[in-house]
Amino acid sequence: MAVIVVVSKWVCGRDVDVKELRDEHNGHDSRDMVFWEGVTRHDVRFYEVHVDKVHAMDMTAGLGYDGHGALSHILLFVMKRHSMVPNRLDGPDRDAVGDTVRPLVSAIAEEFAGPMDDSTRYDTILDPPLEGRGYLHRPGGHLGT
């Protein structure tokens, strides 16, 4: 299986690697991916998040493209896989989930820097028991951290 590390950083005192599962591109995912009305086609990508070499989260990204082929909407589904991942915000300044999601969104945006719609948006959907984190959405404008 082809695995590419797309994000590697220190998050809340731990080593975090976000790995894209390249062989899984456009694989089957049962999630209901509802994109904004300008999206005419989409791709699906799968990621594993390893914290100190422990599989801690999975992320599924739906990448929606407009009629010109520009990236215009990212849906990011986040699933907790290990108890080390906090269900709620860690505190007022740090959020392990958010500090992992935002760099991944930035890496995707960087990959599509040329062919990206001016009003590209992203939405993060957290699977229970993860909750809160309303700031992990961008309803238009430039992507990135």
Query: Tens of pLDDT along 58-116?
Result: 999 999 999 988 888 999 999 999 998 888 876 666 788 888 988 998 899 888 876 55
**Out of 43-47, 74-78, 129-133, 137-141, which region has the weakest mean confidence (pLDDT)?**
137-141
Predicted TM-score of the model (pTM) = 0.84
Half-sphere exposure of 111 (CA within 13 A, CB side): 11
Note the maximum CA span of the chain: 42
Domains and CATH numbers, the chain: 3-138 (3.40.630)
Please check the confidence at residue 145 and state whether its pLDDT lies above 60. no
Confidence at residue 112, expressed as pLDDT on a 0 to 100 scale: 82
57 pLDDT band, cuts 50/70/90, is very high
Q: Which residue has the higher pLDDT, 74 or 140?
A: 74
- Which residue bears the tokens 């993860």? 130
Q: Give a three-class secondary structure readout of 64-131.
A: EECCCCCEEEEEEEEEECCCCCCCCCCCCCCCCCHHHHHHHHHHHHHHCCCCEEEEEEEEEEECCCCC
